[in-house]
Chains A and B, each alone.
Chain A
Amino acid sequence: MPDGSLLVQMLIGALLGLSVYLPLAAGQLSLATPGFMTVGGYVAALLSTRVAALGGAEPLYPLPWLLLELVLAAVIALALALVVGLPVLRLRGIYLAIATIALNEILRVLLLNSSWTGGAVGIFAIPQPFGDPLGYLAALLLLLLLAGAACQVLAGHPLGRAMAAVRDDELAASCSGVDSFRVKLLAFGASAVLAALTGVLAAHFFNTWNARQGSFDASITTLAFVVFGGSRLWLGPVLGGLVLTALPELLRPVGDLRLVVFGAVILLGPLLFPQGVVTPALLQRLPLPAGWRRRLLP
């Protein structure tokens, strides 16, 4: 049985999976999710440890200031996404992926070598807004529900259909009057905001934050959530994030072989389910109420 703190990490994984999924739904491969998460985490870490007026010394960090951090992190991440996205998204193909790797690296090296971000050690002893993992669980569950609901609305919304059109064939979508640049930018911005919000909560939960959170490894891990879970439906990355975060911990009884088994699962996933585990075909087969199926399928 996963304990409360593992459930929290699973939810963080699910949210990061969704953050990678959003640009992919518009056909854009962005690896910047850990970078934006790092930015969000630093906003939380810096504000709560360096600004005494925010009540970092109190036993429990006041919730209004947590909200302030969330808003500020979202604004900063969105601004950063626009600065990067405006030039890069005019290009086609894999350029966004390359630019986002560069963005992660620039952020990481800057944060690693600045004294105000704590250097290599980063920032530790970040105040806790909740007394136990349940508080984080509730906050992250709320965020996941909101993000999931937004993705669900998007599936039937003209913007969502435009994203799908750009993903399937950008040229054809443009010819049909879809402003593909705007659609891609919106998806990229939403991904950045979601990652930054997750970063704020993660920084408080992990109570330590440093530049290693935004490493290239982290980019690949979050991408694996989507590859494993499936990129066609928003439930896919959520499932991928939950499962792949939980597995290494649930496999602890296996002992020394646990990471071998974990690696095998990651390998077998795409082999057995090339489109990811959650696909429209799977939902057709599952015995779901007709209403659910109709709503979940695009």
Chain B
Amino acid sequence: MPAVPPILPSVLRGGAVAAVVLALTAACSPAARRVSTPPLLGAAVALTGNASAIGQDQRIGLDLAAALLGPAGPGRPLPLTLAIEDAGTDEQSASQAFRTLIGRDVLAIIGPSLSQQAFAADPVADRAGVPVVGPSNTARGIPEIGPFVLRVSAPVSQVAPLSIARALRNDPALQRVAVFYAQDDAYSTSETAIFQKALTDRRLKPVSVQRHQFSDTDFQTQVTAVLPLNPQLVVISAGPVDGGNLVRQLRTLGYRGQIVAGNAMNSPNIFPICQRQCDGLLIAQAYSPALAGEANRRFVAAYRQKRGSDTPPQFTAQAYTAVQVVADALRRLDARRPVRGRPLAEVRRELNAEILAGRYDTPLGPIRFTPEGEVIQERFGVARVRMDADGRQGRFELLD
């Protein structure tokens, strides 16, 4: 046997294997695919990882929408089905979930949960010509990803300044503000820029800006660096899990002032994390359970029946709205020219244009879209978290 084994035959054999694999995969790739019966919509939200605190709320909204809006009924002859996939908390899981759904011939995708994931996964759908409706992607630049990307979640630039304004109304004399944000997360960095601009516009220069990682759970370093500066207001842009832990540690280490939290913490799923210490958090709302209107009444009634509470979280309402927007547009399209059996690519393209062109009466109130896919929504509010004495139950109390 020679000292160096002959590698040419192995490489040739490997090449042959490669050719077979490629041929097999090519054979499996679609020819001209057609719309299935009933038409399928896809949703990819975070059911695992830190973002699942958001994804769990969204799943409830998706399930409610599937039950309420899916079956055919009076005035809507076309039945729809919804497939839900776990998009995890990282970018690759989200992209893979999107590919899985696209491979199952969905007409549109609702998701993913995080803006960070949207920057990775949305281009996959955009290139495949599949409309994406972001249910909770609030960072700057999401609709600009491509012509097939829309969102029903109002951007941080519209929502975030409201809670700062509210904190200043509570305490007009406040001077010393500390800012915290997750530096490796697209939404958090985007939102903190808006928060900090809102502060500067009111001539408030942060006494300290502290950074952490999205996956962190210990914030002793940041908190002990800030407390000696005696802040009167703390402004947090972080995920639900890191943000919840940060609030808990701020309070435990003795901070008594106001706390403004960003959109990702707008979920009752933070209550088990910061418990009694969640009390008093100010969070801007893109949804109000008290909103008048038929769409919201139906949604709240369905939520009460399923969950026994009158106050659906914002993420649940937004996920429901995302399905409603797609379903309404698809049914309008179908009424003009039935979609079943038609080429998939063509219907996806027409659906995208139809969603963008429509006006919708949703639980979020009346909404429509800019030509780029940015949501135009009228009503926002600010809520304060009220925790019960035992720290187990809590609610978002809307402020006027």
- Listed in ascending order, the chain A residues whose CB lies under 8 Å from chain B are 1, 3-7, 9, 112-113, 119-122, 124-125, 128, 132-134, 137-138, 141-142, 145, 148-149, 152-153, 155-157, 206-208, 210-212, 215, 217, 248-249, 252, 256, 258-259, 294-295
Q: Are A156 and B4 in contact (CB under 8 A)?
A: yes
18 A-B pairs in the complex with CB atoms less than 8 angstroms apart = A3-B99, A3-B103, A5-B99, A6-B99, A7-B21, A120-B185, A121-B119, A125-B123, A134-B22, A138-B18, A142-B18, A156-B4, A156-B5, A157-B4, A215-B215, A249-B96, A252-B85, A252-B86
Assembly CA distance A120 to B114 (angstroms): 13
- Using A153-B4, A206-B120 as known contacts, list a sample of 13 further A-B pairs with CB atoms less than 8 Å apart, ordered by residue number in A: A5-B96, A7-B25, A9-B96, A120-B182, A120-B186, A132-B29, A141-B14, A148-B14, A157-B3, A210-B116, A211-B184, A212-B184, A258-B86
In the complex, the number of residue pairs spanning A and B with C-beta atoms less than 8 Å apart equals 112
Closest 7 CB pairs between A and B? Answer: A208-B120, A121-B186, A145-B14, A120-B189, A124-B119, A141-B18, A149-B7
Q: Are B22 and A206 in contact (CB under 8 A)?
A: no
Assembly CA distance A9 to B91 (angstroms): 13
A148: chain B residues at CB < 8 Å are 14
Q: Are B95 and A206 in contact (CB under 8 A)?
A: yes
Q: Which partner residue on chain B sits nearest A211 by CB separation?
A: B184
Q: How far is the CB of A112 from chain B (nearest CB, A)?
A: 6
Assembly CA distance A157 to B22 (angstroms): 32
Q: How far is the CB of A7 from chain B (nearest CB, A)?
A: 7
Assembly CA distance A294 to B10 (angstroms): 13
B1: chain A residues at CB < 8 Å are 294
Assembly CA distance A152 to B8 (angstroms): 11
B28 contacts A by Cβ under 8 Å: yes
A249: chain B residues at CB < 8 Å are 96, 100
Assembly CA distance A206 to B141 (angstroms): 19
A145: chain B residues at CB < 8 Å are 11, 14-15, 18
Q: Are B18 and A206 in contact (CB under 8 A)?
A: no
B353 contacts A by Cβ under 8 Å: no
B36: chain A residues at CB < 8 Å are none
Assembly CA distance A7 to B26 (angstroms): 13
Q: Are A295 and B5 in contact (CB under 8 A)?
A: yes
B window 83-116: CB within 8 A of A: 85-86, 90-93, 95-96, 99-100, 103, 116
Q: How far is the CB of A234 from chain B (nearest CB, A)?
A: 12
Assembly CA distance A53 to B7 (angstroms): 39
Q: Are B91 and A208 in contact (CB under 8 A)?
A: yes
Q: Which partner residue on chain A sits nearest B189 by CB separation?
A: A120
B124 contacts A by Cβ under 8 Å: yes
A142: chain B residues at CB < 8 Å are 18
Q: How far is the CB of B49 from chain A (nearest CB, A)?
A: 9
Q: Are A208 and B7 in contact (CB under 8 A)?
A: no
Q: Are A256 and B47 in contact (CB under 8 A)?
A: yes
Q: How far is the CB of B3 from chain A (nearest CB, A)?
A: 6
Contact of A134 with B96 at beta-carbon distance under 8 Å, contacts A124-B119, A125-B145 already known: no
A121: chain B residues at CB < 8 Å are 116, 119, 139, 141, 186, 189-190
Q: Are A9 and B183 in contact (CB under 8 A)?
A: no
Assembly CA distance A119 to B181 (angstroms): 13
Assembly CA distance A134 to B20 (angstroms): 12
Assembly CA distance A215 to B90 (angstroms): 12
Q: Which partner residue on chain B sits nearest A212 by CB separation?
A: B184
User: Chain B 214-243, CB within 8 Å of chain A: the 1/0 string?
Assistant: 010000000000000000000000000000
Cβ-neighbour of A153 out of B5, B92, B139 (below 8 A): B5
Q: Are A3 and B28 in contact (CB under 8 A)?
A: yes
B81 contacts A by Cβ under 8 Å: no
Q: Are B25 and A137 in contact (CB under 8 A)?
A: yes
B92: chain A residues at CB < 8 Å are 9, 206
Assembly CA distance A215 to B116 (angstroms): 15
B10: chain A residues at CB < 8 Å are 149, 152, 295
Assembly CA distance A139 to B395 (angstroms): 54
Assembly CA distance A149 to B15 (angstroms): 12
Q: Are A206 and B29 in contact (CB under 8 A)?
A: no
B208: chain A residues at CB < 8 Å are none
